[in-house]
Structure 1
Amino acid sequence: MGRTTESVVATRHDRKSPAPPSGDAAVSTLPTREVFASLGTGPGGLTAAEAAARLARDGPNDLPATARGGMGRRLLAQFTDLFAVLLLAASALTFLAYALDQPHDPATLQLALAILGVVLLNAGIGFAQEYSAERTAQSLQAMVPHVCRVLRDAQPREVPARELVRGDVVVLEAGDAVPADCRLVEAEETAVDNAALTGESDAVGRVPGPVPSGALLEARNCVFMGTDLVAGTARAVVFATGTATEFGRIFRLTAAAPRQRTPLQCQVAAMARRVAGLALVAGAVLFAVRVPSGQPFVSTFVFALGVMVALVPEGMPATLSVSLAIGVRRMARRHALVKQLLAVEALGSTSVVCTDKTGTLTQAEMTVVELWADGVPHPVTGVGYAPAGDVTDSPPVRELLRAAALCSNARLLPPTAGEGWRVLGDTTEGALLVAAAKGGVDTAAEEARTPRVAEHPFDSVRKLMSTVHRDEDGTYVVYVKGAPLELLARCDSVARGGGREPLTGASRADVAATADAMAGRGLRVLAVARRTVASARPALAEAESGLTLLGLAGMHDPPRPEVRDAVVACRRAGIRIVMVTGDHPLTAEAVARRVGIVRGPDPTVVTGTRLDSMTEEGLDELLTRSTELLLCRVSPEHKMRVVTALQRRGEVVAVTGDGANDAPALKHADIGVAMGASGTDVAREAAVMVLLDDSFASISAAVALGRSVYRNIRKFLIYLFSHNIAELVPILVASFVGFPLVPITAVQILAIDLGSDVLPALALGAEPVEADVMDSPPRPRRERLFSTAVMGRILFLGGIQALGVCAVFFWHIQASGIPYADFTPSTPAYREAITMVQAGIVVSQFFNALAVRTDRQSVFRAGLLSNPWLLAAGGFGIALMGAISYAPPLQAVFGTAALSVGDWAVLVAFGALLLAAEEARKWMTRRRRHAGERARAR
């Protein structure tokens, strides 16, 4: 078969099932006859009784399901959030206060129920949005065949794959999935696709004889669970099952890899701790201040509770979840499926992308792009396995393509429902078949006219493959293909002008230089030759000597056309791209140059073997100094080590991949990005984001959306927390001036937080992506969500609102002429005053929502009507406030009163003043920025 590909170096795997005395790796070094003895079996397989005994002893050949919490446990987890715990405690204490107070105060019961309702609402939203089952183990199971063919009692049988045991003799054919780790004892033209384990796209030849000791995955006489036989037939003896297999090793790595907390998770958790601590301290201090003054214990407690509730942003968890869900839907429209809400924001802070090559940057379809025959190059058009394209159809090219197609074991399969053109077998040979079809060669007709009578399979030592065919006139023709230098050494002539010319030293050098030039352009080069022999089964030395060189074929796995622009966008955004692949360094560098990951003359290329010899300090230094870095021939452990090292440096790391070998790194990364169309189930389930179109360009689009989501989160946090100041300050002022009642009750605060503020906050979270979102570098991993600038805006806007609501409250209180001590909750002036406070916050928040839409740009320049959902949400909040003010049932619940037209006019003027003040601040910010730019220009 075609050209081999070196396997990835892998570390030895742990074992849970018994190993042969000399170790699994030793099985690959044994002669075939000794393999049976070492595994306690024979050519006819195990007896049924022995197989049953081993199954009972070693356990089934499957991967255990990952322990997962049930629905109930996942729902209960929603109540462990710090805000939820704080509010649950507040609700419990309020119920206790209601029970101890005589007579019972219905308002206290209403407050307790309202706080409990907030917790239940947030938990329900969080559960509905965040429920995402971990099915990695189930996906790994799906890749293992359910039934396999074995020899038991020397008779062929079909048994469930989970009942396979060490020592079973397995019968395999092309198209079969390998059910366990096995040592080959018979093999006929056998090749396997190890992509699920190694990430390599090429089929790899397999032989039954012993091989030198070395890494197990490199043993050419072994096949592994989760891989596929793509050519030939084989018999193999099982030496490892279940979690003791190489596939099981990846399963254990994936299960053990912790899910990383996103930057937003860390920041929200830190913010929750600070806010909760501040709320508890403020409530406790005011409680301690008021109790000695003679205030009733229960009413003082309710007062302190109001302070605490004012500081806790009850609507923030629900707002954050739903806003992130909006980002998820937007990304889905860009073919990026995000399975965890907080991953949306983490995308926006991505600073490094560790990308796989095959299937991620490339199309995973080898394509012949250039032929060399008769001394001149012949371009080939078209991409992929579809035989659509052209090739210069001269006789030398046609004979070259005919010979290459006949000397192949692959098959080109036409499109079927749901699938396009595809190759069964080696992708390199498939590319030659496609080129032959483009050149007008009917491979099926040629095979019928010139049937194959013998074959010398590909061997990695001689790097050649040859087939013998009987021509129509009864002569026998050998066609050979393989590595150019090896084949050229066996040629004594070259096809020229319809005949043959002797290969001289100069012409030999010309051919070698042509092959080197093609390889230098990143092409994989194969040479094709022929000769006539006297018999149907010539010896290898005769078949592969005295050849006539027909030409060269250069091919590559073409990059996806949209990848280069996506790489440019990532570079502009300050995102570093590191290629991490199991492929050969030269192939990786060629692809990296085509897509723009490598632009300089000397990129840093590091193999897995070199990584093994590096200390942590050496790896850190490598990652720091190497701007263009390619990591090649790496194992799953290498990928995880690199990701951990990058995270240790403070990077936010996204990892792309499509194979089972990528799963541990995908899970360990901050953002695991799997391919949806070509990726394995394991990769898709380990990742938090799946690219439905397998396009690297979707990553760039997702990062832009993630950055936009983060900006929008900051907008609605400013919006939400600024009015908390307006809720808290009047309570503090009333306490220090000796007013016996609260200017705003806890039930009113809950109505603002959940009734009037949530929808505008959601509308802010749905602000469109700004044009400059990819023109700045990623924010640092440790950057605080509540930066100095954000806190300044919160204090500025919240301070204006606090001054306004304090003014309208004490204006109503003082205008009533009633002494402070005579006020009760039923006093009309008090009810009007607290209604003014609540309405003042709601109206000012409407203007505040307009103000926070932009950081520096004027909202009038951005367009007041450009976000109609925000206007509608603000209008709903004001309408709800109107209902609370005028509807008698709601007046009874909230203790409010009807406001006059003049009251509303005052509140609107107050809100407009807030917007004007914020516009003035933005104008001053822009002016200072422009002054700084002019100063730097000088």
Structure 2
Amino acid sequence: MIDSDSQRQWHCLPLTEATARLNSSEDGLSTTEAARRLASYGTNALPVPQLPGFWRLFLRQFVSPLIYVLLAATVVSLGVGELIDAIFIGLVLLLNALIGALQEYHAQRSAEALRNLLVSQTRVLRDGEIVELATGQLVPGDLVLLSSGDRVPADLRLLEARGLEVDESFLTGESLPVNKDSQAICEPDTPVAERCNQCFAGSLVTAGRARGLVVGTGLNTEMGRLSLSLESADLVRPPLFQRIERFSKRLTVALLITVALLAMIELARGTPVLVIFMTAVALAVSAIPEGLPMALTIVLSVSMRRMVKRHVIVRKLVAVESLGSCTVIAADKTGTLTLNQLVAREVAFFDGRGFHVTGGGTEPIGDCLPLEGEVQPGDAERLARLSRVAALCNEAELRQLEGGQWHGSGDAVDQALLVLAHKNHQAPGQLLDRYPLQAQIHYEPALGFAATLHRDDGRQLVCVKGALEKLLPMCSHMAGADGDIPLDRKLALARMQELAGRGARVLAMAEGSWHNRHSFAADNLENLCLLGLVAMFDPLRDSAPDAIAQCRVAGINVCMLTGDHPHTALSIARELDLAGKGETAVTGMQLADAEARGGQAVDALTGGTRVYARVSPEQKLTIVRSLQRQGEFVAVTGDGVNDAPALKAAHVGVAMGRRGTDVAKESADLLLTDDNFASVVSGVEEGRIAYQNIRKTVFFLVSTGAAEIVLFLLASAFALPLPLTPVQLLWLNLVTNSLQSIGLALEPGEGDEMQKPPRSPRESLFNPSMVRRVVVSGVVMGGLSFFCFSWLLRQGWEIETARNSVLLLMVLFENVQVFNSRSESRSIFRQPLFNNPVLLLGTLAAQAIHILAMYSPLMQSVLGVSPVSLAHWGALLSVALLQLATMQLLLLFSKRRDHENSMKE
């Protein structure tokens, strides 16, 4: 029986006792025991805050100043005996609340689905083997493996720690990373911030590696006890929403002033106070785009779901629209532009000899064939020594499953080296038995190499792998065909450059004996023998060249960032058509020199560069800031803990969902579920579509509201009766208009999104083009409606009959205007009619509902409408189609003017 861990002071216990108390072992838990504990302890997760139910969301829709006005209008109508008006307004309010509640309810379910897609993974020892599990499956007694960039998945008692530093600022307030010591035993009253032998759920590993025993999960963690919740982060309104809300408020103030003036004019003319009040309410409802926030939510939610289908998960809603604005994409090479499936293809020695390696993937099936002639005894010995280093200085795992298939885990470079070792009959397990591991220097990007120390009978064997430039200072001699010879640096560099020029990722191998009295550390490695080079190739993703070509057409510059040698980087860049024959790569050393001279020197270096080689993750931030200073809107991809500053500083941060660290994922706005550059480009396209749909919806709602204001202003100016009753206005804007605006939010792309240059990030939503179209639309629709109303009155029609025609005309105007809103630059006759069935059905439904109301006795009395003849309906449709003709003429005029301006330039 396991004691409850909720009160256990694990920091006071020795390692053996802590492991014994949880009935764990060096091999971790068995799968059966883990399943039993999971049923007993529950999942390793904090309770998700209970989401409000549908009815609570429904009631929330009535919390709005605009709704308060409508409720007041309902009460006034009841007070003066206008029962029909009161019932109608109440029904409209219920319908509006129902639509809003359904949308919020759907958005919540989408958020839940998104949360399920963002399940974190952690490495755990189960049944003696390293497996990757969802963090929610962890139980007390599990053995967890941590490395730099990981988020700690549960409360742990450290069993082993190597250079481990952890950021616990979220828990303790300590801004600096904390050094951890697994061997320490703390006093019982040691505060959480000083428990150096523990790691706590939610903290971030900033450096080093560790193995820890899970001692607390879910609510039994320190995070659980503090009831921390990440949900509150989503409460911040996106900038796009804030801009729209500011616009709506300004528009509201302007329209309220207009409505107040109309009310005073009508009051002076003797119009009944109740009619004035109800008309003012209805006009305010019609002019204020109250459906805009809901439409925006629909647009962005639809884009989120579309992006998920294209392997992009949106963590921040506004990133949907922001990605479409990027002018530069700074992309990782490995795994993003390539498959991240490194295969060792060649082993090269420095006398020109070497081996070609056959086979591929993670299956160690293949041979090492000599590049020239027969295998020489000296070559076989060199290959064996190099393969031994490849197997011993390695942190990956390669094992054969029951079905005969091979499974690899760990770094792609290490996996490729294990496959190479197996092909040369150097099994890592047997080698480690022969050469037990004594110490290790783990690979870090800033270090550029890794090293291990092994016991070898009467001596200590050093194995080192890494970039040739890093290993050369450590070496004094090199392996030759007849034995070790003095090191020839120029020869080694020339051989490496020849391999890199063919697009290979080149790794050097070295070994030696350890005689240093100092500790086994990076600065103390010397007198090693350089064994040879391993040339590894990472194939390009099939979709990468086409994706980069799309970016070029779309006016987006793509920069490739890699830690590889400049020759390798340029070879890959030329395959991708990112660099020509005469172009060079900017190296991390050049960037560092430019930084020392100041920002202008950096900008001069990055201004015309598309290939960066041997750059550290930290230098990504330098590149991003430089591009931003030059006016670029930058999207950057990253996967490591050191990429987090660049991801945060970029306008849009894109993290790798598969191989990315938790730190990178949480710093990013978007996640790629397939780590594929083509998915970034797909996201750009969806972002541009989202922005277009936002503009389309805004234009439709604002232009139809402007038409009604123009109609009433003209009627008041010419001393005519009110052209529409308050109830008719409410019907027009809250029923027929809403049905069609939803369809615009679901518009597919026009097909040319990636053939246009990026829009300026500083461009206002209401740019001159939008303002011009709104003004022309409002004047035409409002003016024609007024002309129709006044002409009918002059022909002797009764006011109610004239209003019936004007109301039908306005509905027809909406039907026409929604199709005018489908594109800002393309004629309505070039838009496929059936590629948005929701819009088509919504338009037909709006017209059908109104016609049904004209024939319904109940709605006839509520709206004051009546049936019209088919000829009359056709005549009104002809008038409405004048709006279509007007917008087509405006489009032609705008295109001609833009062409003339471009000719002048």
Same fold per superposition (TM over 0.5): yes
Question: Whole-Å Cα distance in 1 between the matches of residues 268 and 319 of structure 2?
Answer: 50
Pick aligned residue for 1:566 from 528, 547, 553: 547
Distance 1:918 1:234 in 2: 68
Counterpart position of 2:783? 803
Are residues 428 and 307 of structure 1, via their aligned partners in 2, closer, same or farther at CA, if it must alter by over 3 Å?
closer
Task: Provide the residue aligned with 1:601 in structure 2.
Answer: 584
> Does structure 1 residue 707 correspond to structure 2 residue 688?
yes
1:387-786 equivalences under 5 Å are 387=364, 392-393=369-370, 395=375, 399-407=381-389, 408-409=391-392, 410=394, 412-414=397-399, 422-424=407-409, 428-437=413-422, 440-444=423-427, 452-453=434-435, 457=439, 465=452, 482=465, 494-496=479-481, 500=482, 503=485, 509-515=490-496, 517-518=498-499, 523-527=505-509, 551-555=532-536, 560-575=541-556, 593=573, 600-601=583-584, 603=586, 605=588, 633=616, 652-658=633-639, 671-680=652-661, 684=665, 687-740=668-721, 742-786=722-766
Q: CA deviation at 1:302?
A: 0.8
In the alignment, structure 1 residue 118 sits paired with structure 2 residue 96: yes
Q: Give the Cα separation in 2 of the matches to 1:554 and 1:423.
A: 20
Please tell me whether residue 305 in structure 1 is matched to residue 281 in structure 2: yes
Q: Distance in 2 between matches of 1:266 and 1:801?
A: 30
| Distance change in 2, residues 1:417/1:756 (3 Å) | farther
| Matched residue, 1:93 | 72
Q: Which has the higher contact order (CA 8 A, sep 6+)?
A: 1
Cα deviation, residue 72, structure 1: 4.5
Q: Does the 8 Å contact 2:143/2:212 carry over to 1?
A: yes
CA contact (8 A) 2:58 2:98 kept: no
1:284 aligns with 2:256: no
8 Å CA contact retained: 2:387, 2:421: yes
Q: Does the C-alpha gap of structure 1 residues 515 and 670 become closer, same or farther in structure 2, counting only changes over 3 Å?
A: closer
Q: Report the CA distance between 1:700 and its aligned residue.
A: 0.6
Residues 275-324 of structure 1 deviation map (CA, whole Å, 9 limit, x = unaligned): 22223222222223333443332222112112212212343333333333
Quickly say closer, same or farther: Cα 1:133–1:610, change in 2 above 3 A.
farther
Give yes or no for the alignment of 1:875 onto 2:852. no
1:854 aligns to what SS in structure 2? coil
Share of identical aligned residues, percent? 28
Equivalent residue number for residue 28 of structure 2: none
**2: CA distance between counterparts of 1:419 and 1:93?**
75
1:776 deviates by 3.0
Q: Is the 8 A contact 1:262 1:670 kept in 2?
A: no
Corresponding position of 1:898 = 867
Query: Which residue is equivalent to 1:885?
Result: 854
Q: 1:893 to 1:314 in 2, by over 3 A?
A: farther
Q: Is it true that 1:323 corresponds to 2:302 in the alignment?
A: no
Aligned to 2:880: 911
The alignment partner of 1:690 has SS state of strand
Match for 1:814 among 785, 789, 794?
A: 794
Cα separation, 1, equivalents of 2:323 and 2:382: 49
Counterpart of 1:302, as a letter, is: M
CA contact (8 A) 1:660 1:682 kept: yes
- For the structure 1 residues 137 and 414, does the alpha-carbon distance in structure 2 shift closer, same or farther, using more than 3 Å as the test? closer
Please point out which of 89, 107, 112 is paired with 1:129.
107
Shift of 1:701: 0.9
For normalisation by structure 2, the TM-score amounts to 0.71
Alignment-derived partner of residue 352 in structure 2: 375
1:730 and 1:743 in contact (8 A); partners too: yes
Contact 1:192-1:223 at 8 Å conserved across structures:
no
Q: Does the 8 Å CA contact 1:135/1:685 hold for their aligned counterparts?
A: no
Determine if contact 2:259/2:280 at 8 Å carries over to the other structure: yes
Following TM superposition, by how much is the alpha carbon of 1:659 offset from its aligned partner in structure 2, in angstroms?
5.1
CA distance in structure 1 between the partners assigned to 2:602 and 2:90 by the alignment: 54
Q: What's the RMSD between the two structures over aligned residues?
A: 6.2
Choose from 82, 85, 107 the match for 2:85: 107
Which whole-Å CA distance do the structure 2 matches of 1:646 and 1:888 have between them? 66
CA–CA distance in structure 2, aligned partners of residues 672 and 435 of structure 1: 36
Say if 1:191 and 1:230, in contact at 8 Å, map to a contact too. Answer: yes
Within 2, Cα distance between the matches of 1:47 and 1:129? Answer: 45
2:770 is the counterpart of 1:790: yes
Q: Which amino acid aligns with 1:375?
A: G
Amino acid at match of 1:784: S
Letter in 2 for 1:288: M
Q: d(CA) in 1 for partners of 2:410 and 2:88?
A: 71
Quote the offset at 1:789 in angstroms: 1.0
Equivalent pair of 2:157/2:199 in contact (CA under 8 Å): yes
User: Does the 8 Å CA contact 1:354/1:580 hold for their aligned counterparts?
Assistant: yes
Q: CA deviation at 1:704?
A: 1.0
Assess, with a 3 A threshold, how the Cα gap between structure 1 residues 425 and 870 changes in structure 2: closer, same or farther: closer
**For the structure 1 residues 591 and 789, does the alpha-carbon distance in structure 2 shift closer, same or farther, using more than 3 Å as the test?**
same
In structure 2, how many angstroms separate the alpha carbons of the residues matched to 1:905 and 1:569?
Answer: 46
**C-alpha distance in 1 between matches for 2:434 and 2:207:** 22
How far is 1:428 from its partner? 4.0
Please give the alpha-carbon distance, in whole angstroms, between the structure 1 residues aligned to 2:253 and 2:404.
58
**What residue ranges of structure 2 are gaps of 5+ in the alignment?**
1-10, 22-43, 129-136, 170-179, 185-196, 215-219, 515-519
- Distance in 1, matches of 2:280 and 2:602, equals 52
C-alpha distance in 1 between matches for 2:856 and 2:405: 65
> Would the alpha carbon gap of residues 304 and 361 (structure 1) be closer, same or farther in structure 2, given more than 3 Å must change?
same
Matches within 5 A, 1:837-852: 837-852=806-821
Contact residue 559 and residue 610 of structure 2 kept, 8 A? yes
Using the TM superposition, give the Cα deviation of residue 708 of structure 1 relative to its aligned residue in structure 2, in angstroms: 1.9
Q: 2:217 maps to which residue?
A: none
**Normalization by structure 1: what TM-score?**
0.69
In 2, Cα distance between the equivalents of 1:311 and 1:910?
Answer: 22
- After TM superposition, give the deviation of residue 514 of structure 1 in Å: 1.4
For the Cα contact (< 8 Å) 2:388–2:421, is it kept in 1? no
- Cα distance in 2, alignment partners of residues 610 and 74 from structure 1: 60
- The residue correspondences of 1:46-85 to structure 2 (distance < 5 A) are 71-72=51-52, 85=64
Between the aligned partners of 1:449 and 1:465, the Cα distance in structure 2 is 13
Give SS of 2:76's match: helix
> Measured at CA, do residues 226 and 527 of structure 1 come closer, stay the same or move farther in structure 2, by a change above 3 Å?
same
* Shift in alpha-carbon separation, 1:292–1:619, aligned structure 2, 3 A: farther
1:853 corresponds in structure 2 to: 822
What letter matches 1:673 in structure 2? V
Q: In the comparison of the two structures, how many residue pairs are matched?
A: 810
